[in-house]
């Protein structure tokens, strides 16, 4: 009975506590409850909270410019939320026109000695800062910020750039109770509208308002008036194994398709892929560079030119470009592209290098086409319609004996058929100026793995000594090669630092080429056991694949993107040398992810005076949907647990 009463009291306390969170999320007006409430039960980690926000974009009837009115009401929950009281407004300008901001009003509300105290922003505390040639920033910080403050601010942006209709972020890095965006778009302007992110609209309404806009010559336009709103929007928290935040942040975006003036003249802004292909074919940085003929005998050796095996020939051409031209780290794919300058200077941007590769392969009668893509940090390119500015990278696809190879010669550590990790962003646009461009999947040609194999023995002092061999493939090997060949001494030193309880010596690397398919190393280890008792514990993991669980969120609404399929294998043979016996060993583990998309297997066997231990971790998918998150979280937790807490209890004979 006591337990039942305690449980009831606990529930009543929590219900009462939650009932105190009476935020007014229905309007911009600050209520006493907004100020008095100190917590946010739905997210106890939140430092601040948007109680209410409202945006309204429309075309001014007299000035014919785009006006966007913004109102926000934010609760500051603790000191870590003070940054939310500093506001930055981004304004765009070009050579002819500029955006402006007017009617900036901001107020801080505090409860002091039972009284509501309001502190208003002074105009002198609003600052303007030039960001670059086309952008300036308006900044201000609300005054008198304390824990528990409620702040409100509003302003209006006036923009002459109707092609750039204002989008709206429903989601941010703090939670929101209510976010609403109203738009009024005259029929003269036709936009592609994109809703991005996993969050659903709670309000999505549209209606036509007749005669909303009249021109100076008497022309009349109807308007599409829309209301979009979301409620109870969680904070967007970035975590490991994701592409850029912009791929998933809940928001609405606009891109102008056509404009029709009051005289009936129509101007098309959005393009078809056919028209984009036509433009790229004649573009001086893409099409013209791709069509440049190259005298291969001036660049390639006779051995390469006369190589009869097509795959080997393509590989040698690829390695020639890798080893003779340096990427200058610039992602310019539509600017300053010049194969001629690259050959002369031996350095150039990504397009110049990979177009040279393309042209050398083409001149060698190898089927090759360029591929435009957007890198992982740049976001997904839109598939619904062409937005050429969303692409920031160019690679090459070669087809040899009906097999397709994706190539990028900017990195001389890559093997033929591999591309940098930055390029693993799901898809790209294959350019074919004869048959038309098409979307293709961007995937690694093979999975990646790490194999750790140790043959060790327990000596008479209960120490461990023996040989370790490690073999990595794919992107695991790529990372190891770059670390090792750039500084061998630092690589070994780092290996020692990561294993502070081990002595490492006789380190040797048997794969001695930068662009080899794998990376193989071996070394001797010695572990001194400080415990001199007859019975002792030994953790058999002398290599840890995951030190901690990278997944810590309660919920994740965006995919888990590893980039590539992955596996890890740990094999240990520990010779007891007839001096010891195992009196307790770890339990075997076998756990799978749903739909057979991954597995952990761990087993320990004692046989003929040796401990034989094997652990295998397999990720069969490169990308997992958000629904897999709780399973992956538990999966990773089990991996960490096995590595940290699997102990052998050993006794001296």
Crossing angle between the packed helical segments 310-324 and 350-363, to the nearest 10 degrees: 150
Contact 256, 165 (CB under 8 A): yes
Which pLDDT belongs to residue 69?
A: 98
Which pLDDT belongs to residue 20?
A: 54
- Specify the CATH class of 273-442 in words: alpha beta
User: Residue 307: CA atoms inside 13 Å, Cβ hemisphere, count?
Assistant: 18
SS3 39: coil
Length of the chain as a residue count: 653
CATH 2.60.120.1130 maps onto the chain at 448-652
List Cβ neighbours of 301 (8 Å cut-off, separation of 6 or more). Answer: none
pLDDT band at 7 (very low <50, low <70, confident <90, very high): very low
297-337 pLDDT per residue, tens: 999 999 999 999 999 999 999 999 999 999 999 998 999 99
Which pLDDT belongs to residue 264?
A: 80
Give the residue-averaged pLDDT of 402-425: 96
Which pLDDT belongs to residue 8?
A: 37
Contact 76, 146 (CB under 8 A): yes
Q: pLDDT: is 205 or 14 the higher one?
A: 205
CATH of 23-267, picked from 3.40.1360.10, 2.40.40.20, 2.60.40.3140, 3.40.640.10, is 2.60.40.3140
- Specify the CATH class of 448-652 in words: mainly beta
**Quick check: 6 pLDDT over 80?**
no
Tokens 């020939």 belong to 313
Give the residue-averaged pLDDT of 459-465: 89
222-256 pLDDT per residue, tens: 999 999 999 999 999 999 999 999 999 999 999 99
Give the residue-averaged pLDDT of 468-490: 95
SS3 90: strand
Which pLDDT belongs to residue 3?
A: 39
354-384 pLDDT per residue, tens: 999 999 999 999 999 999 999 999 999 999 8
* pTM, entire model: 0.88
CATH 3.10.620.30 maps onto the chain at 273-442
* pLDDT, the chain, mean: 93
- Strands 347-348 and 326-327, by their bridges, are parallel
φ/ψ of residue 311, rounded to 5: -65, -45
Contact 187, 223 (CB under 8 A): yes
Give the residue-averaged pLDDT of 54-82: 96
Which pLDDT belongs to residue 214?
A: 86
User: What ranges in 21-107 are assigned the alpha helix state H?
Assistant: 32-36
Which pLDDT belongs to residue 438?
A: 97
Report CA 609 to chain centroid distance, whole Å: 49
Give the residue-averaged pLDDT of 49-56: 98
Dihedral in degrees, nearest 10, Cα atoms 378, 379, 384, 390: -10
Can you read off the two tokens belonging to residue 538? 């030994």
Neighbouring C-beta atoms of residue 261, cutoff 10 Å: 12
**Quick check: 14 pLDDT over 60?**
no
Which pLDDT belongs to residue 13?
A: 40
Neighbouring C-beta atoms of residue 194, cutoff 10 Å: 14
CA distance 44 to 234: 12
556-598 pLDDT per residue, tens: 999 999 999 999 999 999 999 888 999 999 999 999 999 999 9
**Quick check: 512 pLDDT over 90?**
no
Q: What percent of the chain has pLDDT over 90?
A: 84
- Highest mean pLDDT pick, 209-213, 268-272, 347-351, 513-517: 347-351
């Amino acid at each position: 009975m006591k337990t039942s009463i305690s449980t009831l009291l606990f529930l009543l306390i929590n219900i009462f506590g939650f009932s105190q969170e009476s935020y007014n999320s229905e309007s911009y007006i600050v209520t006493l409850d907004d100020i008095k409430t100190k917590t946010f039960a739905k997210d106890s980690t939140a430092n601040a909270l948007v109680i209410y926000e409202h945006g309204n974009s429309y075309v001014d009837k007299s000035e014919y410019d785009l006006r966007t009115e913004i109102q926000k009401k934010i609760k500051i929950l603790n000191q870590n939320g003070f940054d939310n009281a500093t506001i930055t407004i981004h304004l765009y300008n070009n050579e002819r026109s500029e955006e402006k901001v007017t009617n900036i009003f901001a107020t801080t509300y505090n409860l002091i000695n039972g009284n509501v105290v309001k502190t208003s922003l002074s105009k002198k505390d609003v600052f303007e800062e030039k960001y670059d040639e086309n952008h300036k920033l308006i900044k201000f910080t609300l005054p008198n910020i304390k824990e528990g403050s409620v702040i409100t601010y509003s302003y209006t942006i006036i923009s002459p750039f109707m092609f750039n209709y204002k989008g709206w972020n429903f989601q941010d890095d703090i939670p929101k109770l209510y976010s609403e965006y109203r738009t009024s778009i005259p029929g003269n302007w036709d936009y592609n509208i994109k809703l991005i992110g996993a969050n659903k609209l709670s309000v999505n309404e549209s209606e036509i308002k007749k005669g909303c806009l009249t021109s100076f010559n008497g022309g009349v336009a109807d308007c599409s008036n829309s209301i979009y709103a979301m409620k109870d929007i969680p904070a967007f928290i970035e975590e490991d194994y994701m592409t850029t935040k912009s791929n998933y942040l809940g928001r609405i975006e606009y891109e102008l398709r056509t404009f029709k003036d009051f005289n009936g003249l129509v101007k098309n802004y959005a393009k078809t892929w056919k028209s984009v292909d036509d433009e790229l074919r004649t573009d001086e940085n893409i099409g013209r560079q791709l069509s440049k003929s190259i005298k291969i005998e001036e660049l390639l050796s006779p051995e390469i030119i006369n190589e009869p095996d097509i795959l080997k020939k393509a590989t040698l051409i690829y390695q020639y470009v890798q080893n003779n031209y340096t990427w200058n780290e610039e992602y310019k794919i539509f600017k300053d592209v010049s194969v001629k300058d690259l050959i002369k200077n031996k350095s150039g941007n990504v397009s110049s290098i990979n177009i040279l590769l393309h042209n050398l392969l083409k001149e060698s009668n190898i089927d090759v086409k360029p591929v435009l893509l957007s890198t992982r940090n740049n976001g997904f390119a839109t598939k619904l319609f062409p937005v050429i500015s969303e692409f920031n990278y160019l690679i090459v696809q070669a087809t040899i004996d009906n097999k397709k190879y994706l190539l990028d010669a900017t990195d001389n550590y890559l093997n033929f058929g591999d591309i940098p990790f930055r390029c693993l962003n799901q898809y790209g646009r294959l350019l074919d100026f004869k048959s038309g461009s098409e979307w293709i999947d961007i995937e690694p040609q093979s999975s990646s793995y790490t194999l750790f194999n140790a043959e060790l023995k327990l000596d008479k002092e209960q120490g461990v000594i023996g040989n370790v061999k490690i073999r990595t493939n794919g992107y695991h090997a790529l990372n190891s090669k770059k670390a090792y060949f750039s500084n061998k001494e630092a690589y070994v030193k780092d290996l020692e630092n990561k294993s502070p309880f081990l002595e490492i010596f006789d380190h040797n690397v048997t794969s001695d080429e930068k662009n080899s398919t794998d990376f193989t190393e071996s070394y001797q280890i010695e572990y001194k056991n400080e415990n001199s008792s007859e019975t002792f514990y030994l953790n058999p993991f002398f290599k840890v694949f995951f030190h901690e669980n990278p997944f810590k969120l309660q919920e994740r609404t965006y995919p888990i993107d590893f980039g590539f399929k992955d596996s890890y294998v740990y094999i240990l043979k520990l010779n007891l040398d007839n001096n010891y016996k195992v009196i307790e060993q770890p339990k075997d583990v076998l756990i799978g992810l749903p739909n057979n998309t991954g597995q952990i297997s761990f087993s320990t066997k004692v046989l003929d005076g040796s401990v034989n231990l094997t652990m295998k971790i397999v990720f069969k998918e490169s990308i997992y949907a958000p629904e897999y998150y709780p399973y992956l979280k538990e999966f990773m937790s089990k991996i960490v647990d096995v590595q940290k807490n699997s102990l052998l209890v050993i006794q001296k004979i």
